[in-house]
Amino acid sequence: MTHLSFRCVFTLLTLATILFVPVGCGAEQVAPKQDAPKQDASPKKPPPAPEPAEAPPLEKKPAGRVVEVGSAPEGIAADPETGLVAVALRNPNELALVDGESGDTVRRVELPEAARHLDLAGSGGPVLVPAEGSDSLLQVSLPDGKITSETPVGDFPHNAAAAPSGRIFVVNEMASTASIIEDGREIEKIETDLKPGGVAVTDSGLAGVVGVRGLTLEVFDAGTLESLGSLDAGEGPTHVEAGPENRFYVTDTRGDAVLIYEAGPQPEQIGRVSAPGSPYGIAVDHRRKHLWVTLTAEQRVVQFALQRRTLREVARYPTVSQANTVAVDPASGRVFVTGKADGQLQILEPR
């Protein structure tokens, strides 16, 4: 009995020696493990926001008429009721009101800060002026050019659009939010995809917001403010316009394309049209069912006919220098292009 116990004890001590061999002060040797592959825990950094291409020197005379309008024009909106074209200027920060037929500047409105993009709340105005540096939305009445309201919004308001109900969506690029404005005051602020740079609203009340760093088009119900979905928007989207039949058109500036979306309870991308030349500015002529897109790298503006899932090119015209923005007067059909480099406004009478 004692002999057996000694053997058991000896066996246990031998096993313990095999399993636990001292390798240092208080250390134990354990079976080596294969290193797990290292994983990058940090999220992928989004690309920088796309910007308009730097336009090359003009090779052709701009089509139509060219008038001097002021320093660094960019934002533009054409009103069919008054025939006025509002143009945002810098240094000094002003809004020029131009007669769309004659090309004469009839009024200049002093602004507290510069605006990069403009829109209309409806036919006859007012002009929606996101004053980026003052974090406010201005509304300027037509034709008198009076600032009728100044509403505090979010950080760096970049673009604005009005719904049929009168609600105004203002996208705050640096805050990644959208401010909802009613009766001159902010009633709500909603989160958007990263760095919203463009916004448009369809006739049925669906708002499309382009995240220029999120690389998405997010669609909201303008009434409930519910997000209906966020869709891929190419390599570097910048601007969006609403077309007929609940369509959205997005310029993929970095991807050299125009993207077509069908909005609704389940929005989807339905088309992509190649547009080499860094497409940037975009405008829809609802009456004639045409789309206008500036190609800043080519010094051209392209006229497309709207089709269900695609676009058919109709014509292209040489533009003024650094043609970042385009607008259409649906009443007359005139097209207006800003030339940021030389302080010019181009007036086209399309074929």
CA 178/CA 180 separation, integer angstroms: 6
pLDDT in tens, 7-31: 333 333 343 333 333 333 333 333 3
Q: Which DSSP helix (H) or strand (E) runs through 9?
A: helix 2-19
Q: Residue ranges of the domains in the chain?
A: 66-348
CA 160/CA 168 separation, integer angstroms: 7
pLDDT in tens, 101-157: 999 999 999 999 999 999 999 999 999 999 999 999 999 999 999 999 999 999 999
Q: Running DSSP on this structure, what letter comes out for residue 155? A: S
36: pLDDT strictly greater than 80: no
Q: What is the pLDDT of residue 8?
A: 39
CATH class of 66-348: mainly beta
Torsion-angle region of 333 (φ positive above 0: left; ψ -120 to 50: alpha; else: beta): left
Q: Which DSSP helix (H) or strand (E) runs through 106?
A: strand 105-110
54: pLDDT strictly greater than 80: yes
217: pLDDT strictly greater than 80: yes
Q: What is the pLDDT of residue 43?
A: 58
Of 28 and 223, the one with more pLDDT: 223
pLDDT in tens, 55-82: 999 999 999 999 999 999 999 999 999 9
CA 35/CA 31 separation, integer angstroms: 12
Average pLDDT over all residues of the chain: 90
Compute, in degrees rounded to 10, the torsion defined by CA atoms 330, 331, 335, 336: -100
Q: What is the pLDDT of residue 32?
A: 38
